[in-house]
Amino acid sequence: MSSKASNSHPTDWVGPSLLTAKTIAAVVEGLPFPYVKSVFGLAVVLLETIENGRRNREDLKELCLDIGEIMHIVSDHLTMHRDTAAQRFQTLCEDLEACLKDVLSAVKLLQVEPQGLHGRFREVVRLASTADRVVRYRSRVRNLRSNLVLSATMDTNFQIHKLAPISSASAQPSSVRTNSCPPPSRIFHGRQGILDKMYDYFSEDTPRQRVFLLHGLGGAGKTQIALTFIEEESSLFSDIFFIDASTRSTIESGLSEIASAKIAGDSPRDALQWLRTNKEKWLLFFDNADDPKLNLNRFLPRGRHGNVLIASRNPGLSVYAGSQQLVSDMDETDAVPLLLASAGQDDTTNNSDIAAEIVKELISTTRNRPSRSARLLSEVPRQSHDDYAWTVYTTWSISFQRLTRTAATLLQLCSFLHHTGISDKIFSGAAEAKYQITSPGPTEGDMQMPFAFLSQFLIGGVWDRLKFMDVTNELRAYSLINLDAHAKTFSIHPLVHAWIQSTLGTLSERAAHKACMTALIGMQVNALSPQEQDRAVQLAPHIDALLPDADVNPVVPPFHLEYGTLFYYLGQFSKAENLITTALATCTAQLGPDHFSTLVAMNHLGMTYMRLGRVAAAAEMQEIVLLKGSSLIGADNPYILAAARNLADMYNGLGRYEDALGLQVDIVDKSRKAYGDMHTNTTGAMANLAMMLMSLGRLREAEEMQMCVVDRRRKDRGENHLDTIAARGNLARIYLALGRLKEAEGIQAEVLRQTRDLAGDEHLDTFIAMGNIAATFREMGRLGEAERLEVEVLHKRRELLGEKHPDTLLAMGNLAWTWHLLGRLVEAEGLGAATVEKRRVILGDAHPQTIKAAERLAKTLEQLSKAEILGVDLPRAVTSWGGDTSAPSIRMVCEL
């Protein structure tokens, strides 16, 4: 409360208060709420009466300022919520009006009191019944004001802060570098016991890495506790790094930023290497590590130094922690000052008593009258399951209402993407794709909203990045997005992100905006080439957010083929199959089975079948594409040559090596004539031919050709492109077959590292690289290392591809043989027998991989002295994959 002025000539407060009251009254005059207009008009009359009387002003000041504050709050909430606020405050306005009528009557009487009182209003009110009523009225107004403020607090958090890096020299030593670590809320209060426990743990002077876990319900305050500790105890640490651990992608992005900041590289692996070798007292803070499916252990730096702080809803992460703390409900003693701070009230005895009563009532209501709590919460739109989301709803709503239409639409579209890593390339890529409407595909009606949105950022058909930046800067001004200047992307706070869709009032509006965002990404996917797979990887988190159920619901009108292709590039082949199957059915129905667009969809589906291990079905489909396509556009057309190359791969996978070789030689010859010897398509054809020569044992020819492929890939696509990395991996396979183990190992180790960095730990190409280096370890006698990798490869292939996929069977056979070499013969027999049985069913008895598996099983059985049960001379193993596959030894082993 404002205190009485201490000087003998206090400044005039009535004039400014009257002007403010008249202004507010004028604002609400046009609103359809008569009880509000009536009480505001009466407040103006009261102030005019006080000004005209010019007596006892200072004694009436507190009462009038309380009234003015009530007018401000009611006016603000009417502007925000109109009908909802008006209904909520109707009773209060009616009570205030009755009180003001009495106050006005009393003030008029006071104006005619004798001058001998010398303005000593406090003495008068003790002696005169009229003045005594004014004191009581002032108490009534104060109570009304307190009730209003607390009601408003339930609806609005007045202390919304923009996240910014901690960079103040006064807040931390100059030696500390902070990786975009936001400050704690200015109204944070309490939790001192937890903060003390964290200090004691991290300040220990022992040679070990310290990992502390804060876990508990969402909204309990884990992040604020962590940020407060970091701000208050930053002197404990040499460096402080903040990681958004909500997904694997955000963790890897954060680690990459650390690597770049420390000039240690640009990948997550580089960051972990820097942390492992930098034996200082750095702190790594993983926030929002809530996904129980996420293996956080692989991102924890190894070593006996450094500090790690984790905030998570998952108590299972305690297996990694040396100390932990459950963050549960706040104590009442902490809740009272927090409520006062969030309401913007002074911590006086009177206010504290009122706040304590409110806190007790809220606790009692929550425990004993849940239906009333539900009604309380229902007054504010609920945008997430986080308990604290509703307190800032009004502030977000005000900011959103002030946005231009373009900025609001951009924010709404982004709410269907992942909340981090949003780049202007998502939108500029759609514009630059220059998408043309064709049949089958989206109609003009489907594309009206996407084209209209993009047109706002085009000048003469060219993307204007500055105009787009103007819109994002508008969003930043209201703290609705946060910019990552280093990564040149922006993010949206998860709670704001979840709330934004509520601004789309109807289901049809939400569907239209989601369809628009789907189209914007589909337009640029349509323009992606196989050489731009890294762009697909960048879009992956947004695709997962936009289409979380694409594996079971292939409805992505009308971009089925585009999204199917994107999922193929991402290694998500089941999703790709569903979408491309739908695209093929649409093309066949609308255009016929012989149309070129139908053949394109069929080619994509055949390649997807190949990656899913359904090689025979893939080859059958690809033969149709090649036959009809050659008749339609010519056998030398680039598209047909690519289809022929795919068919050769399929023949190779089926063990039809001579067919594959003949077809591939023809493809290389035609590619050289059509494109020239140095064209990338010719290089691709040569790469396939090199692998087929290796399969046939023509290793020197294979090596020479593959070295040429690697050299061309480096020149065409760069050292770090996935195609270049794959070419080097295939060269290492040839070296392994030639017995050049050291050379093979060196290349494979680098290939595995690069593949992990570019494609991620869960990509199938990473497991291929792991399997290849495991095979080299096995040949080098490093069986323990080989087994460790092969166990992981088999587990992941089973999980991602299924038990019947050829790649899974290959992993089973390799692990069984490693166990054989380790002397674990019983385990080798079990897994080897399962491998042979499944290969017979899936690949056939005559397939080279079936024969190889049978040969290895026979050797295991022989060492187990079980050969006699077969009645044949098993040591005569097949020495050539092209041998007599009907020989009794093979047939008998296959029957086990």
Please give the pLDDT value at position 885.
38
pLDDT band, very low/low/confident/very high, at 874 (cuts 50, 70, 90)? very low
- For the residues 569-592, what does the mean pLDDT come to? 87
Residues 265 and 129 in one domain: no
Q: Measure the CA angle with vertex 82, ends 78 and 86; round to 5°.
A: 75
Structural domain ending residue among the three candidates 99, 118, 153: 153
Please give the pLDDT value at position 166.
33
CA-to-CA dists, residue 121 to 131, 323, 366, angstroms: 8, 63, 45
Q: Is the dihedral angle over the CA atoms 469, 475, 478, 482 positive or is it negative?
A: negative
pTM above 0.75, yes or no: no
Residues 319 and 428 in one domain: no
What's the total number of domains in the chain?
4
Residues 292 and 414 in one domain: no
pLDDT at 379 over 70: no
- For the residues 871-894, what does the mean pLDDT come to? 37
Considering the domain boundaries, does residue 592 fall inside one?
Answer: no
Q: Report the range of poorest mean pLDDT among 96-100, 232-236, 471-475, 725-729.
A: 96-100
Residue 592 burial (10 A CB sphere; 0-12, 13-18, 19+): exposed
Structural domain ending residue among the three candidates 503, 535, 567: 535
Please give the pLDDT value at position 153.
46
Contact 772, 786 (CB under 8 A): no
pLDDT band, very low/low/confident/very high, at 528 (cuts 50, 70, 90)? confident
Considering the domain boundaries, does residue 513 fall inside one?
Answer: yes
Per-residue 3-state assignment (H helix, E strand, C coil) for 83-113: HHHHHHHHHHHHHHHHHHHHHHHHHHHHCCC
Please give the pLDDT value at position 866.
59
Please give the pLDDT value at position 773.
96
Residues 258 and 364 in one domain: no
Question: Token pair of 788, please?
Answer: 């460790």
Residues 98 and 37 in one domain: yes
Neighbours of 892 (CB within 10 A): 16
pLDDT at 307 over 70: yes
- For the residues 416-445, what does the mean pLDDT come to? 85
List the one residue out of 99, 180, 178, 158 whose CA is nearest residue 134. Answer: 99
Q: Is the dihedral angle over the CA atoms 564, 568, 569, 571 positive or is it negative?
A: positive
Residue of higher predicted confidence among 283 and 120: 283
- For the residues 387-395, what does the mean pLDDT come to? 44
**Strand (E) or helix (H) holding 361:** helix 349-368
| 718 vs 283: CA distance, rounded Å | 36
Asked if residue 888 has a cis previous peptide bond (ω within 30° of 0), the answer is no
How is residue 655 annotated by DSSP?
A: T
List the one residue out of 320, 328, 329 whose CA is nearest residue 213. Answer: 320
Residues 450 and 490 in one domain: yes
pLDDT band, very low/low/confident/very high, at 890 (cuts 50, 70, 90)? very low
Residues 438 and 499 in one domain: yes
Contact 80, 58 (CB under 8 A): no
Please give the pLDDT value at position 492.
85
| 24 vs 40: CA distance, rounded Å | 8
Calculate what percentage of the chain has a pLDDT beyond 70: 73
pLDDT at 421 over 80: yes
Q: For the segment 847-859, what is each residue's pLDDT rounded down to a tens digit?
A: 778 888 899 999 9
- For the residues 90-107, what does the mean pLDDT come to? 78
Residues 409 and 456 in one domain: yes
Calculate what percentage of the chain has a pLDDT beyond 90: 29
Considering the domain boundaries, does residue 93 fall inside one?
Answer: yes
Please give the pLDDT value at position 422.
93
Question: Phi and psi dihedrals of 694, rounded to 5?
Answer: -65, -40
pLDDT at 452 over 50: yes
Question: Token pair of 242, please?
Answer: 């903040």
| 301 vs 308: CA distance, rounded Å | 9
Q: For the segment 496-508, what is each residue's pLDDT rounded down to a tens digit?
A: 787 788 889 888 8
pLDDT band, very low/low/confident/very high, at 370 (cuts 50, 70, 90)? very low
Contact 241, 282 (CB under 8 A): yes
Structural domain ending residue among the three candidates 107, 137, 153: 153
Q: For the segment 565-575, what is each residue's pLDDT rounded down to a tens digit?
A: 888 877 778 88
Please give the pLDDT value at position 145.
66
List the one residue out of 192, 227, 423 whose CA is nearest residue 309. Answer: 227
How is residue 155 annotated by DSSP?
A: T
Please give the pLDDT value at position 277.
92
| 419 vs 493: CA distance, rounded Å | 7
Q: Report the range of poorest mean pLDDT among 102-106, 457-461, 590-594, 666-670.
A: 102-106
Considering the domain boundaries, does residue 668 fall inside one?
Answer: no
- For the residues 472-486, what does the mean pLDDT come to? 76
Residue of higher predicted confidence among 625 and 16: 625
pLDDT band, very low/low/confident/very high, at 292 (cuts 50, 70, 90)? low
List the one residue out of 763, 752, 704 whose CA is nearest residue 725. Answer: 752
**Cβ-proximal residues to 834 (8 Å cutoff; 6+ apart), any chain:** 812
| 649 vs 672: CA distance, rounded Å | 19
Residues 287 and 351 in one domain: no
Full domain range(s) for residue 223: 178-326
Which CATH number belongs to the domain containing residue 243 in this structure? 3.40.50.300
Contact 647, 626 (CB under 8 A): yes
Contact 687, 709 (CB under 8 A): yes
Considering the domain boundaries, does residue 110 fall inside one?
Answer: yes
Residue 574 burial (10 A CB sphere; 0-12, 13-18, 19+): middle
Distance between terminal CA atoms of the chain? Answer: 91
Q: Report the range of poorest mean pLDDT among 125-129, 725-729, 742-746.
A: 125-129
Please give the pLDDT value at position 268.
92
pLDDT at 239 over 80: yes
List the one residue out of 318, 325, 132 whose CA is nearest residue 221. Answer: 325
Considering the domain boundaries, does residue 304 fall inside one?
Answer: yes
Q: Tokens 């304590």 correspond to what residue?
A: 356
Considering the domain boundaries, does residue 159 fall inside one?
Answer: no
pLDDT band, very low/low/confident/very high, at 349 (cuts 50, 70, 90)? low
**Cβ-proximal residues to 890 (8 Å cutoff; 6+ apart), any chain:** 845, 851, 854, 855, 878, 884
**Strand (E) or helix (H) holding 215:** strand 210-215
Q: For the segment 111-149, what is each residue's pLDDT rounded down to a tens digit?
A: 654 444 334 334 433 334 445 556 666 667 766 666 665
pLDDT at 777 over 90: yes
Considering the domain boundaries, does residue 627 fall inside one?
Answer: no
Contact 46, 67 (CB under 8 A): yes
Residues 404 and 524 in one domain: yes
Please give the pLDDT value at position 369.
40
pLDDT at 179 over 80: no
Please give the pLDDT value at position 371.
33
How is residue 422 annotated by DSSP?
A: B
Residue of higher predicted confidence among 495 and 661: 661
Q: For the segment 43-75, what is each residue's pLDDT rounded down to a tens digit?
A: 888 888 887 776 666 767 777 887 887 887 777
pLDDT band, very low/low/confident/very high, at 347 (cuts 50, 70, 90)? low
Question: Token pair of 19, please?
Answer: 């002007």
SS3 609: helix
Please give the pLDDT value at position 791.
95
Residues 38 and 144 in one domain: yes
Residues 193 and 274 in one domain: yes
Residue of higher predicted confidence among 172 and 431: 431
Please give the pLDDT value at position 221.
76
pLDDT band, very low/low/confident/very high, at 729 (cuts 50, 70, 90)? very high
Residue 517 burial (10 A CB sphere; 0-12, 13-18, 19+): buried
Q: What is the mean pLDDT of the chain?
A: 77
Residue of higher predicted confidence among 330 and 591: 591
Q: Which amino acid is at 29?
A: E
